Structure 1
Amino acid sequence: MDWVDTGYILSTQKHGETSAIIDVFTQDHGRHKGLVRGGISRKMRPVLQPGNYVNVEWRGRLSEQLGYYVVEAIDSRAAELMDDRLSLTGLNAMTAMCREMLPERERHFDIYNVFQIVLSNLHEVSIWPALYIRWEAGLLSALGYGLDFTRCAATGRNDNLTHISPRSGRAVSASAAEPYLDKLLRLPPFMRGENTSTPEDILDGLKLTGYFLETRVQWELNRTLPEARQQLVERLMAAEIAVQRVG
């Protein structure tokens, strides 16, 4: 049952005196845990930091076993972001969301690909917050709770869509939304394909995806969103991030 893959470290937990259990988001095997012998050694600790891109070889007699990992570093993304508090917060939010939301051992190729894109842009604060929100919207779709931005739930038209119904997850046009603004969630233009955004757009996007992730996904598990995700919202609010390029 052995296999080889690449992926990103999501978490590392000490196990016994010298080993560690790591959670890795892999390209072809999904979120997959395994034991690393000597994982807390001075040599391996820097390799097993959340966010690092690694090559993993998993070995186990049966597929349902925890199994063992042999890990080799490819890119130490965590170390690159240590001096950028906001970008590191984004990294922590992404790894926490993957751990919380993705079922183990289920391949999610599209989510993995966008995960890579967001991480590769974490040094560009004018880009990554909007990409992160789009990634969360994709996460909702992958889990079976996709939002519908294509046409108005009330009129069927596809123009001037400005809000989302919290009940159905479908878009609502400006005219149809007018009597119910206090009950609807704002749909930021960049989530409809426009390539600019404002600090208000970013915060509204986080509110939108966060609402559905919490009420659709986490509610069924009797959990709230990870603390790392809330820290991301708070730090983006403090920084008033304005995104100029998202396309």
Structure 2
Amino acid sequence: MEWTGEALLIGVRRHGETSVIADAMVAGRGRYMGLIRGGRSSKLSATLQPGNTVQLTWRARLEDHLGTFTVELLQGRAAGLIADRKRLYLAQTIFEHLHLLPERDPHDRLLGMALQLIDHDPDGAALARFELSLLDELGFGLDLTNCAATGVTEDLTHVSPKSGRAVSRAAAEPYKDRLLPLPSFLAARGNASPDDIRKAFRLTGHFLDMHLWSARQISPPPTREPLIEMLSRE
């Protein structure tokens, strides 16, 4: 079996003396892993860096096998990411999030959002929306369209930490200390203040932890908290 496609490298790990296993988000195919023979060579080391866009050809005898990759560099980003700590932390956080996706399940919306994020100046609001989309595509999406208590669609200010549903200002008033603040830019397009950014990541972090990190007994991306600190100061 064989296919060729464009992919974003999100991880590379050593395998044996000379090879690596590459982890990539492939357009139209989702997250794929494959063995690259000779991947630790000086010839390939610059190409096989997370953040680069490559053309991959995957080959395997059977569809459910790991398979092998051959790789050609299309767009090198790694050097630019390494030179900018904020962009590097952003990329590393995104790649850790993408590792949560099941293999071989297309997620082109998330791939497009990831590329948009790492190709532009770090944007806290866009990253928070990316985390919301990640939750949604993994089946844990929040319902921010109307109030869980009254059904109204305006003045939504909080979210239930259990159900993930929005709550209006009036309905939230007696229970504010038990609810999570909902920054207005997540419910409707708009500008985000530094305080909004902090609240947004508190919200997404709560549900990422509840449904993914704690549930899978894994730690959050180590770059996420320092990145949030940088983004919420702007």
Structure 1 and Structure 2 fold alike (TM over 0.5): yes
* 2:162 counterpart of 1:163: no
Structure 1 residues without counterparts, runs of 5 or longer: 242-247
1:216 is aligned, of 201, 204, 211, to 211
Query: Given that residues 27 and 111 in structure 2 are in contact (C-alpha distance below 8 angstroms), is that contact kept between their aligned partners in structure 1?
Result: yes
Q: C-alpha distance in 2, partners of 1:228/1:104?
A: 23
- Following superposition, the deviation at residue 220 of structure 1 comes to 2.6
Q: C-alpha distance in 1, partners of 2:8/2:201?
A: 23
Q: C-alpha distance in 2, partners of 1:80/1:25?
A: 20
- Following superposition, the deviation at residue 45 of structure 1 comes to 1.0
1:194 is aligned, of 182, 189, 195, to 189
Identity of aligned residues (%): 41
SS at 2:45 equivalent: coil
Code of the aligned partner of 1:148: D
Query: Given that residues 140 and 213 in structure 1 are in contact (C-alpha distance below 8 angstroms), is that contact kept between their aligned partners in structure 2?
Result: yes
Aligned residue runs from structure 1 range 177-192, under 5 A: 177-192=172-187
User: For this pair of structures, how many residues does the alignment match?
Assistant: 234
Partner of 1:14: 14
Query: Given that residues 87 and 118 in structure 2 are in contact (C-alpha distance below 8 angstroms), is that contact kept between their aligned partners in structure 1?
Result: no
Q: C-alpha distance in 2, partners of 1:217/1:4?
A: 31
SS at 1:103 equivalent: coil
SS at 1:64 equivalent: coil
- Following superposition, the deviation at residue 73 of structure 1 comes to 0.8
Structure 2 residues without counterparts, runs of 5 or longer: none
- Following superposition, the deviation at residue 72 of structure 1 comes to 0.8
Q: C-alpha distance in 2, partners of 1:43/1:58?
A: 20
Q: C-alpha distance in 1, partners of 2:157/2:91?
A: 29
Code of the aligned partner of 2:86: L
Code of the aligned partner of 2:107: H
Q: TM-score, normalised by structure 2?
A: 0.95
Give CA deviations for 1:91-145 in whole Å, capped at 9, x if unaligned: 010011111x101111112222222222222xx24xx221111111011110111
SS at 2:44 equivalent: coil
Q: TM-score, normalised by structure 1?
A: 0.90
* 2:145 counterpart of 1:150: yes
Query: Given that residues 97 and 229 in structure 1 are in contact (C-alpha distance below 8 angstroms), is that contact kept between their aligned partners in structure 2?
Result: no
Q: C-alpha distance in 1, partners of 2:146/2:127?
A: 23
SS at 1:105 equivalent: coil
* 2:46 counterpart of 1:51: no
Q: C-alpha distance in 1, partners of 2:229/2:194?
A: 12
Q: C-alpha distance in 1, partners of 2:180/2:213?
A: 19
